[in-house]
């Protein structure tokens, strides 16, 4: 007996909801070149009427996957853009720092060269001052030695002359012969007295000398002249010693003044030398630290370059493919949503037909293809 239970499926097939769902998925799969959508379309096509739960679940899962992929693409694109911006900013900052490092190093190098030149000049000046001090000391020592020698010789001559004068005067003192005042202070007077009072005369070579015997004190004038000459020489020598001592004192004062000035200059130059050496050491340390800082900046810059190189393939790909992937997902999403609507509608219709009572008059209203009324 025909109860009409098999008529509902035939009725549903006439509406072609499954075919519409399949067509929607196939069209989207072709537009987006989606293999997974094509596979889902095959599942829809082969699914039995009334058994779309698994297909609908697969569609929901795929819709969720598309949403997650979209969120992941957005996050990846934004992350890449942020990283590129950070890298660009970091690279600019590091390049700026390296330029500052190079400028500072150049400045310190020039300053070190200047201070090194000044140090060399200072050392040369110290050597010149040392040589000057040595020279004037040697000269002063030689001058003092010459003075002492001359003084000693003069003193010895004075002692000898005084002894001779003592011998001359002893005779007259012994015989109580008065010589009168000795004019030793009048230079040349004694010579005039002894030799200037006699007129020159000619004596024949054949004439015998006169034998004249004088009394004691007859030649006291001549002796007095000799004593005066000795006294004059002694006084001259004493004057020479006094003048020598005065000259020696003046020379010593001048020497001490020169040595004081030279010593002060030497101390100043030594202080300058120490200051320059300290400055050079400090600048060398600063330059070393600046070089270390520049090397570190170069390392950080290379790290940024390497990091960008490592992320460039993926980041360039996602940035370049982002719009296309979004468009393909939109197409997939459209097909999935459309297919789901068709299948959900079909399922609802099947549930309704299962609960309805059979209408015998309905058969006469059905129009079969190829049959006339």
Query: How far is residue 57's CA from residue 36's CA, in Å, rounded to a whole number?
Result: 14
Q: State the pLDDT at residue 183.
A: 52
Q: State the pLDDT at residue 32.
A: 66
**Both tokens of residue 251?**
């020379």
Identify the helix (H) or strand (E) that includes residue 179.
none
- For CA atoms 348, 351, 355, 360, the dihedral sign is positive
Q: State the pLDDT at residue 221.
A: 52
Query: How far is residue 125's CA from residue 114's CA, in Å, rounded to a whole number?
Result: 16
Asked whether the whole model's pTM tops 0.85, one would answer no
**Both tokens of residue 64?**
């969720």
User: How many CB atoms lie under 10 A from the CB of residue 105?
Assistant: 17
User: How many CB atoms lie under 10 A from the CB of residue 331?
Assistant: 19
User: How many CB atoms lie under 10 A from the CB of residue 364?
Assistant: 8
Half-sphere exposure of 252 (CA within 13 A, CB side): 10
Q: State the pLDDT at residue 349.
A: 43
Query: How far is residue 292's CA from residue 327's CA, in Å, rounded to a whole number?
Result: 51
Query: How far is residue 207's CA from residue 211's CA, in Å, rounded to a whole number?
Result: 12
**Both tokens of residue 16?**
């072609």
Per DSSP, the three-state class of 206 is coil
Residue 181 vs residues 24, 297, 331: alpha-carbon distances, Å: 163, 106, 153
Residue 176 vs residues 154, 162, 220: alpha-carbon distances, Å: 32, 20, 12
* Intervals of the chain under pLDDT 50: 1-15, 185-204, 208, 211-218, 220, 347-373
């Amino acid at each position: 007996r025909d109860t009409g239970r098999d008529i509902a499926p035939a009725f549903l097939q006439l509406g072609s909801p499954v075919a519409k769902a399949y067509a929607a998925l196939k069209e989207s799969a072709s537009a987006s070149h989606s293999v997974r959508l094509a596979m889902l379309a095959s599942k829809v096509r082969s699914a039995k009427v009334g058994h779309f739960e698994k297909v609908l679940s697969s569609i929901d899962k795929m819709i969720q996957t598309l949403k997650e992929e979209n969120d992941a693409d957005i996050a990846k694109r934004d992350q890449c853009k942020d990283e590129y911006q950070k890298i660009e900013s970091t690279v600019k900052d590091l390049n700026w720092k390296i330029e500052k490092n190079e400028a500072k190093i150049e400045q310190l190098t020039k300053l070190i060269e200047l201070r090194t030149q000044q140090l060399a000049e200072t050392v040369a000046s110290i050597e010149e001052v040392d040589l000057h001090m040595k020279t004037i000391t040697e000269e002063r020592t030689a001058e003092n030695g010459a003075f002492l020698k001359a003084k000693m010789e003069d003193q010895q001559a004075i002692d000898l002359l005084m002894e001779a004068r003592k011998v001359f005067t002893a005779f007259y003192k012994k015989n109580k012969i008065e010589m009168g005042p000795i004019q030793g202070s009048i230079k040349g007077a004694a010579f005039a007295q002894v030799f200037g009072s006699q007129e020159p005369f000619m004596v024949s070579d054949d004439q015998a000398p006169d034998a004249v015997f004088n009394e004691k004190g007859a030649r006291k004038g001549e002796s007095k002249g000799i004593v005066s000459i000795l006294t004059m020489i002694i006084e001259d020598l004493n004057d020479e010693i006094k003048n020598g001592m005065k000259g020696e004192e003046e020379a010593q004062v001048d020497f001490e003044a020169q040595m004081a000035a030279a010593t002060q200059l030497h101390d100043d130059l030594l202080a300058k030398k120490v200051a320059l050496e300290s400055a050079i050491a400090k600048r060398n340390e600063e330059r070393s630290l600046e070089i270390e800082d520049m090397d570190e900046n170069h390392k950080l810059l290379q790290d940024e370059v390497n990091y960008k190189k490592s992320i460039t393939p993926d980041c360039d790909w996602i940035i370049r493919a982002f719009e296309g992937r979004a468009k393909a997902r939109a197409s997939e999403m459209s097909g999935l949503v459309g297919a789901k609507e068709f299948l959900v509608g079909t399922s609802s219709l099947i549930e309704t037909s299962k609960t309805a009572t059979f209408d015998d008059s309905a058969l006469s209203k059905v129009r079969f293809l190829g049959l006339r009324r």
